[in-house]
Structure 1
Amino acid sequence: MPHALCPMPTKLILFDGVCNFCNGTVNYIMDHDDGVFQFAALQSDYARKVLSRFERQRPLPDSVLLIDGNRLYEESDAALRIAAQVRGWKWLAAFRFLPKVLRDSVYRFIARRRYRWFGKQDACRIPTPAERARFPEWQN
């Protein structure tokens, strides 16, 4: 049941708001997902409130998470479930059949190097007025 102060979108992508690669990926998804996803920066209070609903035994990865209904997906599971909903990326979902340990190893390899390869910003992305409907924390 969603918390009154923090309603839960059906499909929410939590991303690293200062990562250039992550922000570019969010831009691509918004242009190709037919409005399926909503977004929030992992660094936001909104993301912390949403994530407080999920009991975790280990720290969350710092690059991408997907909340789909009442389920939390991370690492390669999140990335491939997102890809399955995005025009131009649907073929990537075929990689879900590889062993998770292999998929997550590749995911972590890229995630650890994303700042070095693509850079990062000093502050989290602020959605444009046209994008705000896709960012629940900015709806008010």
Structure 2
Amino acid sequence: MPYSYRDDPNVPSFDDSAPLVIFDGLCVLCATGVQWMLARDPEGASKFAAIQQPLPRALYRHYNLDADRFDTFMVLSNGIPYTRWQGALAAARTMPQPWRLLGNLGRIVPNVIGDRIYDWVQRNRLQWFGTRDTCLMPDPKTAHRFLK
């Protein structure tokens, strides 16, 4: 059911008028991906929040995802959560062209294949790319795109 979190007293209210990308703020790959999205989306179609913050953690619990294990990022768009492969495609669809087109074309890849690729990268991301000592902090020009 779209926007079901609005009825959950454990999820703080927030501005959900734009897609929300929830990411691991300590993961170098994840933080770099957010910076990449920010650089290519000057219109600001998406908002961002690190899983280390209370709101994203509450949303993960609402959708029965483990915020401590963090085995998938989430894109919350129009009140619907997208995770794993579908999350990656949903993130691309929030971007300007040609990324939006790629997000739509990616739908031809069956979820079972896309999820396997996503899971493989997710399992190895910290080994391959490392971790940050501190959570990604936005610069003043993009701070308005991060939920607190």
CA apart distance, 1:63: 4.1
Q: What is the RMSD of the two structures over their aligned residues, measured on CA atoms?
A: 2.2
CA apart distance, 1:35: 0.6
Q: For 1:136, what is the secondary structure of its paired residue?
A: coil
Name the count of aligned residue pairs: 135
CA apart distance, 1:102: 0.6
Question: Structure 1 residue aligned with 2:140, among 112, 129, 134?
Answer: 129
Q: 1:55 to 1:21 in 2, by over 3 A?
A: closer
- Separation (CA, whole Å) in 1 of partners of 2:114 and 2:124: 16
Q: Is the 8 A contact 1:13 1:37 kept in 2?
A: yes
Matched, 1:101 2:108: no
Q: 1:9-42 CA distances to partner (integer Å, 9 max, x unpaired)? A: 2310000100111111101111212211000001
Matched, 1:72 2:81: yes
Residue type of the alignment partner of 2:106: F
Q: Is the 8 A contact 2:60 2:66 kept in 1?
A: no
Residue type of the alignment partner of 1:83: A
The TM-score normalised by the length of structure 2 is 0.79
Unaligned runs of 5+ in 1: none
Which portions of structure 1, spanning 4 or more consecutive aligned residues, are displaced by more than 6 angstroms?
Answer: none
